[in-house]
Amino acid sequence: MKLTLGMIGGGPDSFIGAVHRKAASLDGRFDLVCGAFSSNPEKSNATGAELGLDPSRVYGSYVDMLNTETGLDAVAIVTPNHLHAHPAIMALERGIHVIIDKPLAFSLQEAYEIRDAVRRSGLVLAITHTYAGYPMVKEARFRVSRGDIGTIRKVFVEYPQGWLTGFLEDAGNKQASWRTDPSKSGAGGSVGDIGTHAAHLAEFVTGSHITHINAMLNTVVPGRKLDDDASALLKFSNGATGVLVATQVAAGEENNLKLRVYGEKGGFEWSHTDPNTLLYKPLDAPVQILRTGTGYVSDAAKNGTRLPAGHPEGYIEAFANIYVEFGRAIDGHISDVPLDAPFAPDFPTVDDGVRGMAFIDAMIRSSTSEQKWTEVTL
């Protein structure tokens, strides 16, 4: 049965709001039935009208929406970071499951508060670390966990973007404006916007946690208020070490998240520029090109793929996979019966979100410290 969904944020200039809507609708699990798309009622109404929503269910305030709507299954929170915690907690307190964009919150403290609310409510919260929704990322995690490459020794994760190479804050670019504004983004710039994705991907695939960070954060573009470039040496809980790069001033780069992990017996490489491929590099044997939609991949990958091999699936599909798993978790919650799939629902949780905020916190602390290593504290 379809689940009903409300949305907070996602008005006219939003990028991620439209992504959430397409992802929610792709597989027919969610019906968007109401929204507070903007605190400006005109803008909210305009978006609601464009989406064909019942005007009476379009709000200029999420507080109004959450106080008015009853029986909503879930709400998607797609606002800037400073507007995450309050609506999330309010929704959970009203019995509504939450799916929320990353990073989880404005601060580590707020992240703790959201986590507490999730625990009190017993409800489901998913955080859209999109890349964990890609089938070949799931395949990499599965194969690492199965031991295909032995103990992980090295982890290299990088997320180069170039879109903030110039000073766009004054150019009327809404995305640039709020993401570089500490009053809306929080204390992290690139480290929060894309560094958290990179860190989550590394932890997701390896099954290990980043325990210590040796970071350099830079504000490369003069006049910018937050970091636009981050890099760090890493230590992981299993003894591996690694390097993380997240930069938004790599002119000419798009969105080129890449993960490479190496163990005693081989390596895996996944790149967002070719997301339906996973390179498997067994020691002393030919590299194998693993592909979505084939017969030889694991159920983890198969469950996240809609099409046979050779039919590219992309970002919206990966995003939709998180919605699908979020839906499965809600189903399980509603029906209180064991899920019929061999897998527990697989989506980034509030704990991943809290880890992301702790990562931002440790990156910033490390970057201002003369000491080499800074511990990630939860």
Pick the closer one to a copy of itself by CB: 182 or 282.
282
Q: Half-sphere exposure of residue 24, counting CA atoms within 13 Å on the CB side? A: 27
Site for a copy of itself in 134-193 (CB under 8 A): 149, 153-154, 156, 158, 160-163, 165-166
Max Cα separation, the chain?
64
Q: CB of 43 within 8 A of CB of 82?
A: no
Q: Fill in the per-residue mask, 196 to 235: x = in contact with a copy of itself (CB under 8 A), - = not in contact.
A: ------------------x-x-x-x--------x-xxx--
Q: What is the DSSP letter of 58?
A: B
Tell me the pairing of strands 241-247 and 229-236: antiparallel
Element (H, E) at 159: strand 152-160
How far is residue 73 CA from its own chain's centroid? Answer: 21
281: phi then psi, degrees, rounded to nearest 5: -120, 80
| Least distance in angstroms from the C-beta of 377 to a copy of itself | 19
Amino acid letter, 242:
G
Binds a copy of itself by CB under 8 A, chosen from 64, 207, 225, 251 = 251
Binds a copy of itself by CB under 8 A, chosen from 13, 22, 181, 238 = 22
- Residue 88 to residues 43, 104, 123, 303, Cα–Cα distance (Å): 22, 10, 11, 28
Pick the closer one to a copy of itself by CB: 94 or 306.
306
Of the candidates 32, 46, 37, 23, the one whose C-alpha atom is nearest the C-alpha of residue 3 is 32
From CA 39, how far away is CA 58, in angstroms rounded? 11
Q: Fill in the per-residue mask, 37 to 56: x = in contact with a copy of itself (CB under 8 A), - = not in contact.
A: --------------xx----
Site for a copy of itself in 357-376 (CB under 8 A): 369-372
Q: Fill in the per-residue mask, 261 to 290: x = in contact with a copy of itself (CB under 8 A), - = not in contact.
A: -xxxxxx----xxxxx---xxxxxxxxxxx
Binds a copy of itself by CB under 8 A, chosen from 25, 39, 211, 237 = 25
| Least distance in angstroms from the C-beta of 166 to a copy of itself | 7
From CA 84, how far away is CA 65, in angstroms rounded? 15
| Least distance in angstroms from the C-beta of 161 to a copy of itself | 7
Q: Does 299 bind a copy of itself (CB under 8 A)?
A: no
Binds a copy of itself by CB under 8 A, chosen from 312, 341, 344, 375 = 312
Pick the closer one to a copy of itself by CB: 52 or 122.
52
